[in-house]
A = this chain, B = another copy of it.
Amino acid sequence: MSSDLEVLQEALRGSGQRLTPQRMMVLSALAEQESHVTAETLLDLVRLDYPYINLSTIYRTLDLLVELGLVAETDLGGGVRQFELVGTHPHHHLICQRCGQTVEIGDDTLQPLRDRLQSHYGFEARMDHFAIFGVCKACREG
């Protein structure tokens, strides 16, 4: 088993990219969270240790981590992007537009769709962290 930092280090090495303190700090701040966070929140967290870090660096690092598949990013409805270390726990969210409640669903729910896109269109879909909006059971019945 390899830690997230080792995965990052591994992924950067070879593609000519560098393992900077800023990147490590963003990753470790993410690792301490237990749910979605915004870039702004990460900025505040990292600044506790390193006051000079800039919001652009946070965003660029997050983009990189998303690219590498370590981090999932989605707008869950508030108009602000949320980030989350996914690692070994791929999932998606159902979000009720009436009451705001969100439910987490396993990635396997999307597998049939993935398969169909593959077989019908030859398209390899990368659906990492979907936000699916709609109306929940309680709201529909109430």
Contacts and interface: CB of A to CB of B under 8 A. Distances in A.
Interface of A: 94, 96-97, 103, 105, 109-110, 112-113, 116-117, 120-127, 132-137, 140
Given A94-B117, A117-B132, A132-B117, A137 B123 contact: yes
A123 B112 contact: no
A133 B136 CA distance: 26
Q: Is the interface of A mostly helix, strand, loop or mixed?
A: mixed
A126 B122 contact: no
Given A126-B135, A134-B126, A94 B110 contact: no
B120 A125 contact: no
Given A94-B117, A121-B137, 19 more contacts: A97-B126, A105-B121, A109-B116, A110-B113, A112-B113, A112-B116, A113-B113, A117-B132, A117-B134, A122-B137, A122-B140, A123-B134, A124-B134, A124-B135, A124-B136, A125-B132, A125-B133, A127-B132, A127-B134
